[in-house]
Amino acid sequence: MLKTAISLAALLAATPVLAEDEEIIVTALGIEQPRDEVGQAVTVIDADTIRTRQSVSVTDLLATTPGVRFSRNGGVGGVTGVSLRGAETTQTLVLIDGVKVNDTSGIGDMYDFGNLLTGNIQRIEILRGSNSIVYGSQAIGGVVNVMTGTPGEDFAGNASVDYGYRDTLDAKADISGTSGIASGGVGVAYFRTDGISAASNGTEKDGYKNLAANAKLKLNFTDALSLDLRGYYIHADLDTDNGIVDSVADTSRTDQYIGYAGLNLALLDGKLTHRAAVTWFRTDRDYTSGFGPFGYSGTNLRFEYEGVYQPVEQARLIFGYDHERPDYDFAGFGSVESHKADIDSVYALAVVKPLAGLSLTGGVRHDDHSQFGGATTFGANANYTPNDGATNLRISYGEGFKAPSLYQLYGADVGNTALLPERSESYDVGFDQRLDGDRAILSVTAFLRDTKNQINYDYSIGLYGGYNNIDNTRAKGVEAMLTLKPVDALIFTAAYSYVDARDRDTGARLPRRAANAVSVSADYVWPFRLSTGATVTMVGDSFNDSTNAQRLDGYAVANVRASFPITDNLEIYGRVDNLFDEGYATVYGYGTYGRSAYGGVRVRF
């Protein structure tokens, strides 16, 4: 596969094209960077795609991109983990408007995507491959970077509301603009549904409510000095079931608070820039059950400094320091726990362009953890374009690590303070080819990742077991994505990935990670302005458990959609999800939605 990809890239590099505007990526380095400099695999889901697809959950959008697998306990709002390239769901680092939001109160610091709805989100970048130099702990599988909109020069607003299956209401609104030195925006989104039974064999509906709000304010005091303030809040109430059995007593309440305050300063005519920021993330999770109430709280307070020095166009140096303080609290069943740690990190990267079309990136990071000591990671990548961005040949090597979570270190009866960090080495090679003024874009990537010292539950420890570094895993495969726009009215996208993720000690496939997944989408705007589209996602068989004894059958889900503009500012839209009423599960014993229909209206000014 590697030889075929390289040969095809060399052949396509000679094909003449018409270059379009340069796309900017922010996730690879943590700063704006032209895609032609990025040597790693990055997929972008833009505002037009988010609006056209009409998806409620961010996870449903991620599932249409290469290398992504997910598992959800029941319907929308259920606990949802996202795996990149076969990594653990706890090894996906998640950012919302620049803030690291992995839950420090979770067993493995996993971010629960169940409560992250599309709301007023305008852009998502998915970076696949280990990348701990910029982000530190967690980025073994990759990074999911979620962003709300950037205010424009004019005042603008959007609002929408739709209603459908199981008394589901989805409403959102936002407004933004610029006046003098200030630019900013605010948004709010509300979702509620009677839901389905979380247990696949249950009959009692498990309802869900979600309220999200976001705000941004930027003050440009001068051309060289500015202040960024950002906030995001999510409140969610979920009825659920006790495992895979109907229950009216089991509920959860979640509050997430996200804050960012950053000062930006440019010196030496913009050649040297500084960013100093404080970020804060807190998750409160409260549960009721037949065994009584209990709850978790996790807080992560970070100080970030980042400097960028670009003495000449062909060279750029990025350097920084982070201090992170994760906290963990638990209360319930007659016990109380509280733990915290300190992590200090320094890093440096260099981006150089020694030849026309060639961009080389390399860097190193060192993290010092108050519990287990230090971890040093390296990374390097290259991007070569022989024809001004029409063809990009990419190769990368990245190291990743994940610090043990506070629960894994200190949890009552199960914690192990001798745990080592999980470590990974990731390699990939690929190409991107653009034809006919971006009317055809093909991307192919082959990858390999080895992870050692993976933390899992070890039943041989003590009376009840506990956490230990007992697993070594390997994931390898191929990702491909094709975008076609043969005419302005039609856009077609297809994504395929083969992911072979296994426990290297037992040879078993890692649970809930199907080897094969395909997603195909098409949208067409008719001459009378009606837009119609469909997405079909096919996922192969997988296993629910680490011993591969419990099979999850593969499935194919088709969604169709339509929209029609009544005026330039008013639009009606609707969709049917799971058109053919496919029965399937991403977690054994948990239910999923059957055929369901929704319709609504959008306005903008």
**What pLDDT does 460 receive?**
85
Question: What local confidence, expressed as pLDDT, does residue 244 receive?
Answer: 73
What does the longest C-alpha to C-alpha distance in the chain come to? 71
**Is pLDDT at 19 greater than 70 in this prediction?**
no
pLDDT band at residue 411, thresholds of 50, 70 and 90? confident
Q: Does residue 256 have a pLDDT over 90?
A: yes
The pLDDT assigned to 455 comes to 94
Count the neighbouring beta carbons within 10 Å of the beta carbon of residue 270: 11
Note the pLDDT of residue 4: 37
pLDDT of residue 539: 98
Amino acid 464: pLDDT:
82
Between CA 117 and CA 279 the distance in angstroms is 22
pLDDT, one tens digit per residue, over 279-320 is: 999 999 999 987 889 999 999 999 999 999 999 999 999 999
Q: What is the pLDDT of residues 412-461, one digit of tens each?
A: 889 999 999 999 999 999 999 999 888 999 999 999 999 999 999 988 88
Which residues touch 71 (CB under 8 Å, ≥6 apart)? 80, 81, 83, 89, 512, 586, 587
Position 574 scores a pLDDT of: 98
Q: With bands split at pLDDT 50, 70 and 90, how would you rate the model's confidence at 202? A: confident
Q: What pairs with residue 203 in β-bridges?
A: none
Instruction: Kindly tell me if the per-residue pLDDT of 477 is higher than 60.
Output: yes
Give CA 37 to chain center in angstroms: 22
pLDDT for 51 beyond 90: yes
pLDDT at position 463 is 78
Over pLDDT 90: what percentage of the chain? Answer: 86
pLDDT in tens, 353-385: 999 999 999 999 999 999 888 899 999 999 999
The mean per-residue pLDDT over the stretch 74-99 comes to 96
| Cβ count within 10 A of residue 235 | 17
- What value does the mean pLDDT take over residues 16-42? 80
What's the pLDDT score for residue 9? 37
- Is the pLDDT score of 17 beyond 70? no
Least confident of 6-20, 21-35, 59-73, 444-458: 6-20
Asked if CATH classification 3.40.50.720 holds for the domain at 2-604, the reply, yes or no, is no
Residue 21's pLDDT band, with cuts at 50, 70 and 90, is low
Quick one: tokens of 516? 């094969």
Residues 430, 53 contacting (CB under 8 angstroms): no
Tokens 């539950």 found at? 457
Predicted local confidence at residue 546, as pLDDT: 92
d(CA 90, CA 109): 6
pTM of the model: 0.94
pLDDT digits (tens, 9 = 90+) for 113-147: 999 999 999 999 999 999 889 999 999 999 999 99
Produce one character per residue of 320-357: b if its CB has 16 or more CB atoms within 10 Å, e if not: bebebebbbbbebeeeebebebebebebebbbebeeeb
Name the nearest CA neighbour of 363 among 315, 300, 318, 394: 318
Strands 596-604 vs 570-577: parallel, antiparallel or unpaired? antiparallel
Q: Which DSSP string do the residues of 360-429 spell out, in sequence order?
A: EEEEEEEEEETTTEEEEEEEEEEEE-SSTTSEEEEEEEEEEEEPPPHHHHH-TTT--TTPPPEEEEEEEE
> SS3 for 292?
coil
What is the mean predicted confidence (pLDDT) over 163-167? 97
**Every domain of the chain and the residues it spans:** 2-604
CA distance 513 to 449: 15
From CA 76, how far away is CA 207, in angstroms rounded?
Answer: 9
CA–CA distance, 363 with 349 (Å, rounded to integer): 4
18: confidence class by pLDDT, cuts 50, 70, 90 = very low
- 573 has a pLDDT exceeding 60: yes
Work out the mean pLDDT of the chain and round it to a whole number.
Answer: 93
User: Please, which residues have CB within 8 angstroms of residue 452's CB and are 6 or more apart in sequence?
Assistant: 422, 423, 424, 472
Phi and psi angles of residue 498, each rounded to the nearest 5 degrees, phi first: -110, 120
